[in-house]
Amino acid sequence: MDTVIVWFRRDLRVADNPALRYAVEHGYHVLPLFIAEVADGQWAPGAASRWWLHHSLAKLHRRLRKLGAELVIQHGDPATILTALGQRYAIREVLWNRNYEPHTVARDSALKNTLIDAGIATRSFNACLLLEPWQLLKGDGGPYRVFTPFWKTLQRSLIESAPLPAPEHLAGIEIDAADSLPLESLRLLPDIAWDAGLYKTWHPGETGAHARLHAALDGVLLDYPTQRDIPANSGTSRLSPHLHFGELSSRQVWFAVRAWAAGNSGAAYVEAAESFLRQLAWREFAMHLLYHFPHTAEQPLDTRFASFPWCEDASALRAWQRGQTGIPIVDAGMRELWHTGWMHNRVRMLVASLLTKNLRIHWLEGARWFWDTLVDADLANNSLGWQWVAGCGADAAPYFRIFNPVTQGERFDPNGDYVRQWVPELRALPAKWIHQPFNAPASVLAEAGIDLGRDYPLPIVDLAESRQRALNAWDDVKHSPRD
């Protein structure tokens, strides 16, 4: 019986895993492999992502062992490792599921040639997306730059099919102990413990992913259209890190949500499913953009922003990172991020708007901070989100969007519950003032026991004045030619 390597990357699951399913259906012996690649460049995995990866790999290792195969862990250059293992264990093929980040696409293309030259066949599959980036194109053959037409085409083009089942057994092979590293040797966990909040909040791994999905179907989805923008409520699925690490596939989520809607009667279920799947499609759109416009990981999609007058302010950036801006809902979001490795999506837009519009600090500074602190840090989603808020990305709006964090807070956190949870210094303030303590009467602050500037910082920026400066900066570049 021939042996194949199933190279796990960001597909850390056994169900709906096309590469693994191919090996099983063809009766091959399986050598499951994970390679921790040498960190290179500013988009090397951040601390929160490494924490998640450690625990997800541990769960995958146990699951594969129960099925009959041992996960081999290596560290280094994939071409060197795959060639060596291929020759040592007489590997017929190396199977993997595709990723779409620029450096991965280039690396995989070169890797195929290297392995073929070594006499080892390769085969790759789509396990990440509903449809490949090259399958969704405009009528003129070009890629989409606006979400709504992309979403409509996705709905028309998608042929729904049930996810692949998990294998019942794997035909593993005996591996020399010297060919696999202990997981701990990758040093993915922090040397100084800061991760108590992550342990309390998350359960990485395929089992945890399905538990989170079922919890969303049972307790979140029906109210999703009205609750997803309320940061104090559990109104979102929090599936993003499980999707990023491939513990759950987009197809599994899509199929489960469609089945949930079909199994219940009423327009509310259809509306809820549509609203949720539209957000899932934003993830697909982010991959689409990064694949077709690979420069957008570091450069603006809207080329006019190449000359935008960004500011350098290390002190303001540090205050923003630490949740000490004096703008309550922004500080709440940044503290939630540090404690849990996650931030509510509505609040992500608000903290990004303050950084890029009011402080006019380059969106890459925010993207880098999110990259290091988010458990769901994803290059495509991170780039799309930051460029969208900064105004230099894929956005059909004919205006320069600047969020007001005070009015947004009053709208989506009207009682201040979210702020009270993450900014306890302000807990005693009445709801009328909790989003703008800097405007509260002295008597109200005194009654709440708050001395602004001591107990809680004064705002690091005037919202009205900085908004006007941002608009002026936009006026300076908006008439420049764009691609």
Q: Is the pLDDT of residue 144 over 90?
A: yes
The pLDDT confidence band at residue 44, using thresholds 50, 70 and 90, is confident
| Those residues with Cβ within 8 angstroms of residue 332's Cβ, 6 or more apart along the chain or in another chain | 231, 323, 347, 418, 419, 421, 422, 423
pLDDT at 478: 86
Indicate the SS3 state at residue 126: coil
Cα dist from 400 to 99, 354, 407, whole Å: 33, 13, 17
CATH code for residues 3-127: 3.40.50.620
Assigned token pair, 337: 């991020």
Mean of pLDDT values over 230-250: 96
Q: What is the mean pLDDT of the chain?
A: 95
DSSP symbols for 287-334: HHHHHH-GGGGTS-SSGGGGG---B--HHHHHHHHHT-SS-HHHHHHH
Q: Is the pLDDT of residue 399 over 90?
A: no
pLDDT at 397: 75
Between these two residues, 203 and 161, which has the higher pLDDT value? Answer: 203
Mean of pLDDT values over 143-165: 95
DSSP symbols for 368-432: HHHHHH-TT--HHHHHHHHHHHHTSSS---SS-----HHHHHHHHSTT-HHHHHH-GGGTTS-TT
Q: Is the pLDDT of residue 260 over 70?
A: yes
For residue 117, count other CB atoms closer than 10 A to its CB: 9
Provide the CATH topology of domain 129-161+207-292.
1.25.40
Mean of pLDDT values over 462-478: 95
CATH number among 3.30.470.20, 1.10.579.10, 3.40.830.10, 2.60.40.10, domain 303-477: 1.10.579.10
Residue 262 CB burial class (10 angstroms; 0-12, 13-18, ≥19): exposed
Partners of 72 in beta bridges: 33
Length of the chain in terms of residues written:
483
Q: Is the pLDDT of residue 396 over 80?
A: no
CA torsion sign for 60, 61, 62, 65 is positive
Cα dist from 343 to 276, 426, 451, whole Å: 18, 20, 28
Lowest-pLDDT range of 18-27, 36-45, 78-87 = 36-45
pLDDT at 40: 65
Give me the residue spans of the domains in the chain.
3-127, 129-161+207-292, 303-477
Mean of pLDDT values over 338-346: 96
| CA-based nearest residue to 94, from 63, 75, 72, 67 | 72
Residue 426 CB burial class (10 angstroms; 0-12, 13-18, ≥19): buried
The pLDDT confidence band at residue 193, using thresholds 50, 70 and 90, is confident
Q: Is the pLDDT of residue 482 over 80?
A: no
